[in-house]
A and B are shown apart, each in its own frame.
Chain A
């Protein structure tokens, strides 16, 4: 490309306008940059405020779009105030808005005003996983028929590759029930938040599915997704959950489209 003196090139790559202009975008305490003005010597405070507002509001809107159930639980005003704090503390590092919000659940966990809703962060985690699944690569889920073709003596060594959309969210609270009740517009009845639930997120076709995993199910999916053979994964889960129903869990996972393919004899 260009052959410039590296020092000159470096300076040239960082002229002041961007540094000066961004300084106050996410910080309302900062003065309006002195490099901008209105026409004919007019002031620039309200003019610069348009950019400030566009940046903050559009990023809050992006979080609102990704976390609708979280917002329904808190109410819009609470959510937007919380999101504004998060946007100012952790603006995005990617121009892809569907990649924003990975730190939001962690932020909610520390957010003083959300302490009375200890399940809120897990709902946000589940919504973040939902969006991952929505945008994940398209792939055909493994069908039960393919599994049935594997000779029984080879099953214990079989390795099941997870579908690109598959996610597991574990919670000490009823995250699936709370998510399901708040993701739509339907009226909500009382939910007991205290029952621990593990969520399975999949997208076998175009529709994202969220299911509640039975006890041990999350461990099983996670062991398998880590590349452990079926036999070893089952043994690990059975050691901790002696009543774990292996065939029912495998059938459930096939039905949900957890896996993409199966490898044997490798």
Chain B
């Protein structure tokens, strides 16, 4: 486990309800309740599962039963979708308290949120909305990250977004913005390689340049997902971060480059709509696991840092 992984891993406490189940070097998938019988029918595999935190913020019932059963056998990644960290208004204290309660209850191996926002005043828009990158938004987002980390008592990972528009007021590049957030707050990063590819295509820049500029040494988790194709006003390709199909070949290639540079970082395959049967999703994770293992075996301990 590298230093970052160690610092992000929850401290073992006497009161742990679950086994520690390390997540280092593993591939995983989004947890979908339709897959639960198939997953539980298998013996525990080398894998982890990621859940959207909000789906487990009810008081009780089947969601908590499912997550408890999964957490007994697997490392779990708690992925927040609607903290609105990238929004201008103060974080919702009630939501933050619910988030902390989940972190305490399930002792997740990984905790993450998005560089995006979704609530304005009282309205929740249920989408990851973009923000301009300026010194003022940087200060505000850093404040929000501090607030979350102080509340949950551990660092979390911030995910790079998929974007479809640019803000005229932006003065800072996304990679610089993320790098500076890490420096100011001590958070880690969740590198969504599909988002890198989607944004690069939509904004007309090179995904490889973006990755060359990305602070890979702070990445504690990688996301892979499928995207859909549309066209913009000029008839050019516009990619949509749809999570409704297999990971694209171009994204697998970028992923191979990333873990070649950064080592076998825990990797999650997201699939949130048009959800396939379990064997199909499991096969995507197996493909990621094979690549992770190849890079793990190709690297001697300690060399990962030298290669970066």
Q: Give the bracket for the number of chain A residues in contact with chain B.
A: 35 or more
Q: How far is the CB of B99 from chain A (nearest CB, A)?
A: 10
Flag if B232 contacts A47 (CB, 8 Å): yes
Given contacts A51-B127, A134-B61, A135-B59, contact A19 B166 (CB under 8 A): no
Q: In the complex, A91 Cα to B121 Cα: how many Å? A: 12
Flag if A47 contacts B92 (CB, 8 Å): no
| Residues 44-84 of A at the B interface (beta carbon under 8 Å) | 44-48, 50-51, 54-55, 58-59, 62
For residue B206, CB closer than 8 A to chain A, the reply is: no
Flag if A95 contacts B95 (CB, 8 Å): yes
Q: How far is the CB of A73 from chain B (nearest CB, A)?
A: 24
Flag if A42 contacts B61 (CB, 8 Å): no
Flag if A59 contacts B240 (CB, 8 Å): no
Flag if B120 contacts A18 (CB, 8 Å): yes
Name the B residues within 8 Å of A138 (CB-CB).
59-61, 64
What total count of A-B pairs have CB within 8 Å?
A: 150
Name the A residues within 8 Å of B166 (CB-CB).
36-39
Q: In the complex, A15 Cα to B117 Cα: how many Å? A: 14
For residue B89, CB closer than 8 A to chain A, the reply is: yes
Given contacts A43-B232, A138-B64, contact A25 B238 (CB under 8 A): no
Flag if A93 contacts B122 (CB, 8 Å): yes
Flag if A95 contacts B124 (CB, 8 Å): yes
Closest A residue to B90 using CB positions: A13
For residue B57, CB closer than 8 A to chain A, the reply is: yes
Name the A residues within 8 Å of B12 (CB-CB).
none
Closest A residue to B98 using CB positions: A96
Flag if B60 contacts A135 (CB, 8 Å): yes
Interface residues of B, CB < 8 Å — how many? 56
Closest A residue to B83 using CB positions: A95
For residue A214, CB closer than 8 A to chain B, the reply is: no
For residue B22, CB closer than 8 A to chain A, the reply is: no
Flag if A62 contacts B126 (CB, 8 Å): yes
Name the B residues within 8 Å of A37 (CB-CB).
165-166, 168
Name the B residues within 8 Å of A55 (CB-CB).
125-127
For residue B169, CB closer than 8 A to chain A, the reply is: yes
Flag if B232 contacts A42 (CB, 8 Å): yes
For residue A137, CB closer than 8 A to chain B, the reply is: yes
Name the A residues within 8 Å of B82 (CB-CB).
95
Flag if A92 contacts B124 (CB, 8 Å): yes
Closest B residue to A138 using CB positions: B60
Flag if A164 contacts B59 (CB, 8 Å): yes
Q: Which of B55, B58, B89, B204 has the most CB of A within 10 A?
A: B58
Flag if A91 contacts B232 (CB, 8 Å): no
Name the A residues within 8 Å of B234 (CB-CB).
38, 42-43
For residue A21, CB closer than 8 A to chain B, the reply is: yes
For residue A235, CB closer than 8 A to chain B, the reply is: no
Name the B residues within 8 Å of A15 (CB-CB).
88, 136-137
Name the A residues within 8 Å of B165 (CB-CB).
36-38, 44, 47-48, 51
18 more CB-based (< 8 A) A-B contacts, given A18-B129, A54-B127, A206-B65: A13-B89, A14-B89, A35-B167, A36-B166, A38-B232, A39-B205, A43-B234, A48-B165, A50-B230, A50-B240, A55-B125, A58-B127, A92-B124, A93-B123, A95-B81, A95-B92, A138-B59, A165-B61
20 contacts across the A-B interface (CB closer than 8 A): A15-B88, A19-B120, A21-B130, A22-B123, A36-B130, A36-B165, A36-B168, A37-B166, A38-B165, A38-B166, A38-B233, A39-B203, A55-B125, A58-B126, A95-B84, A95-B119, A134-B58, A135-B58, A135-B59, A138-B64
| Contact surface of A with B, Cβ cutoff 8 Å | 2, 12-15, 17-19, 21-22, 25-26, 35-40, 42-48, 50-51, 54-55, 58-59, 62, 91-98, 133-139, 164-165, 203, 206
Closest 7 A-B residue pairs measured CB to CB?
A135-B58, A138-B60, A95-B82, A137-B59, A43-B233, A36-B165, A54-B127
